Each structure stands twice: as C-alpha cells, then as structure tokens.
Amino acid sequence: MNLTLPESEVKQICLSQGVSISAIEPLQSGGTRLVCTTATGAEEMRLRLRGHIIDGAVTRHRFYRPPGSQGGY
C-alpha cells in the first residue's frame, strides 16, 4: 500500500502493532510504499492507516535499492 506518511513513522507503527514488513521504500512522489509479510498484517495496517492511504498511481524510484546497499539512495 502507498501511504502519505514518512518511512520512519510507518516502521514505528508496524513495530508497535507487531506487523512485519516485507518491503518498504520511500516514494519519489512523497510518502512510503509498504508491503507487509502477511495478509493479516496488511489488513491491520489498512484499517489503522486508512486516512493516510494514497489512492491512484504514484511515482516510485526505478530499480529501488535500500540506503546503505551498493548503489542505494
């Protein structure tokens, strides 16, 4: 799901709810893309963050690499 919140806040909310993250990345257009490891976790985050979900298409980084990795942002 794509959210209007910063990555650090999304991570903190997931941690506090016990929801594990499969993938997370900043969106080029602003906000954060979150992929949870389970459908249950994803549904929990959708309900909890429903006011921050971005509807429609977003601009993502092409070939995203996490910070700290070779070639990362």
User: Could you give the strand order of the β-sheet that contains 32-36, starting from the edge strand earlier in sequence?
Assistant: 2-3, 32-36, 21-26
Q: What is the pTM of this model?
A: 0.81
Q: Which pLDDT value is given to residue 72?
A: 54
Residue 15 · residue 60 · CB < 8 Å = no
Give the mean pLDDT of the chain: 89
For the chain, the domains span 2-52
Spell out the residues 6+ positions from residue 60 whose beta carbon is closer than 8 angstroms to its own.
Answer: 25, 27, 28, 29, 33
pLDDT one-digit tens code per residue, 22-53: 999 999 889 999 999 999 999 999 999 999 99
| Rounded distance between C-alpha atoms, residue 57 and residue 20, angstroms | 24
Predicted confidence band at 59 (pLDDT cuts at 50, 70, 90)?
A: confident
Which comes out higher in pLDDT, residue 59 or 19?
Answer: 19
In the DSSP assignment, the letter for residue 51 is G
